[in-house]
Structure 1
Amino acid sequence: MKLALARAMCLNADILLMDEPTNHLDVMNVKWVEEYLLGLKDVTCVMVSHDTGLLDRVCNNIIAIENLKLKQFKGNLTQYVEKNPKAKSFFELKSSTGFVMKFPQPGFIEGVKSKGKPLMKMANCTYTYPVNSVPTVKNVTVQVSLASRVACVGPNGVGKSTMIKLLTGEVVPQEGTVWKHPNARVAYVAQHAFHHIEQHLEKTPNEYIRWRFQHGDDKEALAKDTMVLTDEEKEKVKEPVTFEIEDEKGNKTKVKWRIEKLTGGRKQVKKEVEYEVQFVGMSYNSNRYVSASKLAKWGFSKHMLVVDEKVAQRAGAFSTPLTTANVEKHLEDVGLDKEFGTHTRMSALSGGQKVKVVIAAAMWALPHIVILDEPTNYLDRDSLGALAGAIRTYEGGVVMITHNNEFCSALCPETWLMQKDPADGIAQCNCKGDAEWMAKAAKESVQAAVQLDEITDALGNVVKIEKEKKSKDKMSRKEKKQAEKIRKAKIARGEAVSSDDEDWD
């Protein structure tokens, strides 16, 4: 974006046409754009923007499009809204037309009973790009749960997107560890979201989603370094491994077989997961399940990650039949009417409509965690308000990189502040978790089947949750008897009894 602005400046134009000039820019650069435009005395500037502050401080004429007609108004945005109350959504984070955006709920995840239980973790991660000698990020420690509402903030180029790539496994840290729950589904809408659909512009959005998930797997999933074998790993998995087989008489013999591949089968056996393997030169009937610990020792760790990803994705993608009607309804839930979702090629869609296509596709597999990199780019004010509403009612975790302070302040009590350490100039992450909010979110969740005793914030701090006590007059007869029984037991043990416990006579 800065390069595009610089090229435009070099033209010394008489008329400057700008389409969303603040997209992707941090607050300092947005301020620079504003001051530059205000300093142009002999240049006419015409801009399309959904940035309320920019329009209000820079523009002295407003041209609104209503019912396919242009209406011109002399004055800034505040003055325009005073004369046209229907446009007040420019100053509110809600839809003025009543448009509602809905995300599909993630559903149950095996082994997770608390919304505060981490589903993704990074610990002390440092990453240096191959072309650099200095790390881009250093000693980053974060975690994400179903209760997370995180805004990742910081200046352009400080390493926010790199941290997210580490978290999602797109790149591998040189130091530190990254972990994801094997049954967790993660949707990642990248900063340059259009790269998902650039090769499919002749398809309609409906056709694109049906193509992308036709076999259950996400064909557009990014190639992750965490799942790509190195040459050394490729050689290791070719080595024969020892198995013990037993004949009909109970005699045991050790044999050496080569594993050809993991078939994709997976099952839980007591406390360990086992994966189905197929052997070189042997029929499907010879397949057997092998424990994860053995496969890891033999060099199949990345193969298991691939299986985990496919099992998790298919569980979500196959939950709703992949029909034209179902995809059409899904697209409408994110604000893309069937006229555009089913009957219009993507090459004819606006930037905001393309963003909705990418968000809809990411949500098809019912993710437990949604990671949005600059989700507000290209969205109009109505869609921005609707997106905020969808995030508020979503039962999964949300992490967003954004420069929109209004958006993140309204939605995200947790922040990951990425900034460079003055001592060495390397980006580090300062996390601030809001445990009280997570406790409240978990308590109010319609899917919360278990009362939480504790939650964990973004840094892993365990916080006890104070249970709300019922007064005596609000208790049922059974609850009163139980409370009296507990009170007498405390007295018998010689424990102190609170004033609430004593007030029974």
Structure 2
Amino acid sequence: SGGWRMRAALGGVLFAAADLLLLDEPTNYLDLEGAAWLEEYLRDYPHTVLVVSHDREMLNRSVTHILALDERRLEVFAGGYDAYLKKRAERLSLATSMKAKQDAQREHLQSFIDRFRAKASKARQAQSRIKQLEKMQDIALPLESRTTPFHFEDASPLASPLVVFDECELGYAPGHPVLSKVSLRLDHDDRIVVIGPNGQGKTTLVKSIAAKLPLLAGKRVASGKAVMGYFSQDQLDELREGESVFEHVRTLEPDWAPPKVRALAARMGFGFEKIDTKVQDLSGGEKVRLLLGLMAHAKPHVLILDEPTSHLDIDSREALIHAINEFEGAVLLITHDIYLAEACADRLWLVYHGRVRPYDGDLEDYRKLVLSADRSLARSVKTDAPNSNVKKPATSAYTLKQRIAAAEAEMEQAQATIARVDTALADPNLYTRDPARAASLSRERADAAAALASAEVVWLEVSEALSG
């Protein structure tokens, strides 16, 4: 998965213990657990770290200074991101006040000049005021950045429940469920975040709720009128390369006149300067905005958002939070962005060890649980076996790095196998045309998944040992 590829890439960089660590959006594609671990790791990193990030929680928990780039100028602020926002607001307030005083003084001087310039008795004083006015330096107010809002129009209300699962098995191959005994209910006013480590089945769950993945067993009952709005960061690759924003938006309403299509695109955030841009030339954030706009046009009753903020800047994330909170339907989120989750959701579903269960704590409780589990695992790796009187020789850093590299290679091989097998199993005719091959592929996928899980455990344990 993208999350494990990011973890593997980060692992190679972090544990080299570089004197200067440069990270560009390191939490993209990480799950909440990985982001929480990275926040703590960077906070305690003994050397210099320079990170480009739109992850507000990480910028509050892990950094000591903010280097802000504004109007082609760099400026350093002490503290985290919230402290930076406060100082910036104070500076803007002070500049606004000084600007108002300067404008009042300028108006007073100009009034004196206009009144007495022509009078001989006041000419010298008027000239003095003119020089004073000319020497006055304008106080420039910082430009306020404007972010186009997101819009999720409310659909006609429906009675709850919108979706019910009863003892369902979810997955991709018969006989090999990713999740079992899934019983849940989604109501029209639910705001739920799905949590759990990478590879446990969070995306499998939300795809099944959105009816994009058929059930392996069990019963799914959904309101016949309920419209599901589904977004996943993987959909960025589904945009049609070579086509413009206008062409994508026009597919929603092919009978509309071009001006009306352009107005709809503008509402999504694509004005005249962007509407004819080919999708391959859009930024990651612009692609997310386009996909969300295309999805929202159907007026869904349920928003199912799988990592919607990975490519959005901080202001766009704030705009998305506002739009979600204004939306009156149900919301189901998978996100590593704790700030987004806390702002938009009031319930948690934990996906772990093949089950889906309500989680009674809040996100901060879960974050502490994840970090305490990581520390316990690290201690278990570093501690000698009980009742052993023989002190074990320390494993060299070189050997640990070799084990990490081997685990990463095993993870990549297992992920490649899973991707290949999933592509083959996606053929709906395979099970009737060649059931023996389907069964063989299912067994191969299960073996690869087990190998991946084993390699992940080794990678985490050895990485913790190396960092200690």
Q: Mark yes or no: TM-score above 0.5.
A: yes
Q: Report the TM-score when normalising by structure 1.
A: 0.53
Q: Residue type of the partner of 2:12? A: C
Unaligned stretches of 5+ in structure 2? 93-143, 361-468
Are the counterparts in 2 of residues 100 and 390 from structure 1 also a CA contact under 8 Å? no
Partner of residue 370, structure 1:
303
Classify the secondary structure of the residue corresponding to 1:344. coil
- 8 Å CA contact 1:146–1:369 kept in 2: the answer is yes
Cα pair 2:192 2:349 within 8 Å, conserved: no
Cα deviation for residue 137 of structure 1 reads 1.3
Two-structure CA RMSD over aligned residues (Å): 3.2
The correspondence for 2:259, drawn from 325, 343, 356, is 325
Moved runs in structure 1, 4+ residues, more than 6 A? none
Question: Is 1:119 aligned with 2:159?
Answer: no
Alignment match of 1:394 (pick from 327, 337, 346): 327
What CA deviation, in whole Å up to 9, does each residue of 1:211-250 have, x standing for no partner? x4366xxxxxxxxxxxxxxxxxxxxxxxxxxxxxxxxxxx
Residue 202 of structure 2 contacts residue 334 of structure 2 at CA under 8 Å; is this kept in 1?
A: yes
TM-aligned CA deviation for residue 65 of structure 1: 2.8
Structure 1 residue ranges without an equivalent (≥5): 89-95, 109-113, 216-320, 433-505
3-state SS, counterpart of residue 318 of structure 2:
helix
Paired residue for 2:358, among 430, 434, 437?
430
Cα distance in 1 between the residues matched to 2:224 and 2:69? 48
| Residue 103 (structure 1) aligns with | 151
Instruction: Specify the code of the residue in structure 2 equivalent to 1:73.
Output: V
The residue aligned with 1:178 is 220
Which residue identity is paired with 1:213? Answer: L
- Tell me the residue number matched to 1:495: none
Once the 2 structures are TM-superposed, how far is the Cα of residue 41 of structure 1 from its aligned partner? Answer: 4.0
Q: 1:132 Cα shift?
A: 8.1
Q: Does 1:28 align with 2:25?
A: no
2:180 maps to 1:138: yes
- For residues 36 and 257 of structure 2, the distance between their equivalents in structure 1, rounded to whole angstroms, comes to 47
Distance 2:58 2:91 in 1: 16
Measure, in 1, the Cα distance between the counterparts of 2:267 and 2:182: 36
Change (3 A) 1:429 1:99: same
Structural mapping, 1:333-482, within 5 Å: 333-340=267-274, 342-413=275-346, 415-420=347-352, 425-430=353-358
- Counterpart AA for 1:348: D
Letter in 1 for 2:313: D
Residue in structure 2 matched with residue 204 of structure 1 by the alignment: 244
CA distance in 2, matches of 1:406, 1:31: 12
Structure number with the bigger relative contact order (C-alpha 8 A, sep ≥ 6) is 1
**Are the structure 2 counterparts of residues 131 and 70 from structure 1 closer, same or farther at C-alpha, using a change threshold of 3 Å?**
farther
String of CA shifts for 1:67-92, please: whole Å, max 9, x gaps: 3x13131533354334312899xxxx
Structure 2 CA distance for aligned equivalents of residues 336 and 154 of structure 1 = 35
Q: Say which SS state the counterpart of residue 310 (structure 2) adopts.
A: coil
Supply the AA of the counterpart residue of 1:122.
Answer: F
Counterpart residue identity of residue 331, structure 1: A
The secondary structure found in structure 2 opposite 1:184 is coil
Q: State the one-letter code of the partner of 2:273.
A: E
Identity fraction in percent: 27
Please give the secondary structure, in 1, of the residue aligned with 2:226: coil
Amino acid in the other structure paired with 1:58: S
Q: CA deviation at 1:206?
A: 2.0
| 2:210 matches 1:165 | no
Instruction: Name the structure with the higher helix share.
Output: 2
Paired residues of 1:115 and 1:147 also in contact (CA < 8 A): no
Can you list the C-alpha shifts for 1:336-375, whole angstroms capped at 9, x where unaligned? Answer: 44422x1333223222121101101111222232211112
| Alignment correspondent of 1:85 | 89
| C-alpha separation in 1, matches of 2:77 and 2:329 | 45
For 2:139, the equivalent position in structure 1 comes to none
Letter in 1 for 2:51: M
Q: Distance in 1 between matches of 2:257 and 2:20?
A: 48
What amino acid sits opposite 2:195 in the alignment?
V
Contact 2:231–2:292, Cα closer than 8 Å, also in 1: yes
CA distance in 1, matches of 2:306, 2:158: 23
Greater strand percent: which structure? 1
Aligned to 1:65: 69
Counterparts of 2:350 and 2:178 in 1: how far apart (Å)?
11
Give the match for residue 48 of structure 1.
Answer: 52
TM-score, structure 2 as length reference: 0.57
Deviation at 1:408, TM superposition (A): 2.7
For residue 400 of structure 1, report the CA deviation from its aligned partner: 1.8
